[in-house]
Amino acid sequence: MKIFWFIPTYGDGRYLGTETGSRAATPGYYRQIAAAADDLGYEGVLIPTGRGCEDAWVIASSLLPLTRRLKFLVAIRPDLMSPTLAARMAATFDRSSGGRLLLNVVTGGDPEELQGDGVFLSHDERYERADEFLTVWRKAIRQEEVTFSGKHIQVSKAKVLQPAVQSPYPPLYFGGSSDAALRTAARHIDVYLTWGEPPEQVKAKIAAVRRLAELEGRTVRFGIRLHVIVRETREEAWQAAERLISHLDEDTIAAAQQVFNKMDSVGQKRMAELHGGDRSQLTISPDLWAGIGLVRGGAGTALVGDPETVALRMREYAALGIETFVFSGYPHLEEAYRVAELLFPLLPLDGLDTRQDQAARGEAVALGNSVRSQPAGNSEPSGYH
């Protein structure tokens, strides 16, 4: 398994849908989260994109020199960018980072936001452009000369002169649930990311992408985007879930759902359908909770439970073909520690040596004339409660 964390560049806090317990999202706070994720042994961090977020490329570049091994999953936007410019940006970041770039292909799902950026394409037209974009991008970043004339993109003798470190290029990640999205994934993408839907829905989606990829003569790996609420006991975890939405009122939920209904994202519609805006229908599968999706767009579900339960649910997804888990939790700094300390020891993770070295350390406890190290799992960082 590969476990990723999240940099909340649109804000953070202890509760959803309220100013109470909110935390300013600042460059200093992003640095704290990135440094924690790097030290704790997360594979990488996802940096979101959109008009409510800081620019993902600028943030990733600012965090790069502060981390040693952490990878950065950064958005490329086929609807907003030139494919050759995006290829040069990717190659530059990959060289500067020593091969720590991963790319999240985002087509956008909010027509109002897209029109504010000058994009007036329909849903399927955006995927047509994405297909053309990735056709040019994948050739250009391999330093091939590209001449291409499509419906949306035209280039003549395009070429990237400086190579990326990773071969053939930094891996492409992508999430989308429509038929057009699945076809794009099958044709171009290395890792398909699904939202945190119930296992049976995830199973069907994985099977569909695999079938389409086989027709293209390709294979695709799979990941999932989830929140996680893990505590030492099941009761504590569910209490934490309820506290997270304890300040939400029905007007706030209704307003958020109205915004989501205006979007043309099939994935967002599937997220909303899991609960229908009804806070009495939030447990949608064993230990899978949709409370976050009442007011948060995109990823709206969380695994909730004690470490053994959450690890079990993760293994169930892994049995379907999920290799990568992109997690987040509120607030993101404290939860990065909690997830690493409670979950990592129960999971088969890449980079295990780093984590074992870290787990061997703990608070020094004096016993008589000797000093022993208290197990890391029994200690909590400052500000943890």
What are the residues facing 45 on neighbouring strands? Answer: 5, 72
pLDDT digit string, tens, across residues 229-257: 999 999 999 999 999 999 999 899 888 88
What are the respective helix, strand and coil percentages of the chain, to the nearest 5?
45, 20, 40
Tell me the mean pLDDT in the region 201-217.
97
- Please give the class, per CATH, of domain 2-350: alpha beta
Alpha-carbon span 77 to 50, nearest angstrom: 10
Quickly list DSSP for 94-158. HHHHTS-EEEEE-----HHHHHHTT----HHHHHHHHHHHHHHHHHHTTT--EEEE-SS-EEEEE
- pLDDT band at 281, cuts 50/70/90? confident
Question: Average per-residue pLDDT in the chain?
Answer: 91
pLDDT digit string, tens, across residues 44-96: 999 999 999 999 999 999 999 999 999 999 999 999 999 999 999 999 999 99
pLDDT digit string, tens, across residues 292-319: 999 988 889 999 999 999 999 999 999 9
Query: pTM of this prediction?
Result: 0.90
Alpha-carbon span 127 to 325, nearest angstrom: 25
Tokens of 7: 């940099």
Q: Where are the domains of the chain?
A: 2-350
